[in-house]
Amino acid sequence: MTGEWDDADLLREVEPASWIEPGLGTAKITQVHSLVPSGFERYVRILNPAEIENDDRSVTPVRWADVARVSGAIAHAGMQFAAISASTSPSRAFWDCDPQRNSGGEFASRCVYRLAELLAAHTGTPRACFFGFWEGNTAFSGVDQTIPRIALGKDGFRYYLLSGAVSRAGDPFHGLLAHLWWPADRAWFVAAHFDFDSIFVGGTAACIDDLVLAPDLEAWDIELDHEIMAHNDAFNPLPPSAR
Q: What are phi and psi of 9, to 5 degrees?
A: -85, -10
The tens place of each residue's pLDDT in the chain, 243 residues long, gives: 568 999 999 999 999 999 999 999 888 999 999 999 999 999 999 999 999 888 888 888 999 999 999 999 999 999 999 999 987 888 888 888 889 877 666 778 888 999 999 999 999 999 999 999 999 999 999 999 999 999 999 889 999 999 999 999 999 999 999 999 999 999 999 999 998 999 999 999 999 999 999 999 999 999 999 999 888 999 998 877 666
Among 199, 202, 178, smallest CA distance to 188 is for 202
Among 214, 187, 175, 174, smallest CA distance to 130 is for 187
pTM above 0.85, yes or no: yes
Domain-by-domain residue ranges, the chain?
10-49+100-242
Using an 8 Å Cβ cutoff, are 49 and 97 in contact? Answer: no
Per-residue pLDDT at 242 = 66
Per-residue pLDDT at 100 = 82
Using an 8 Å Cβ cutoff, are 27 and 83 in contact? Answer: no
CA dihedral sign of residues 27, 33, 37, 39: negative
Per-residue pLDDT at 241 = 67
Give the pairing of strands 59-62 and 129-134.
unpaired
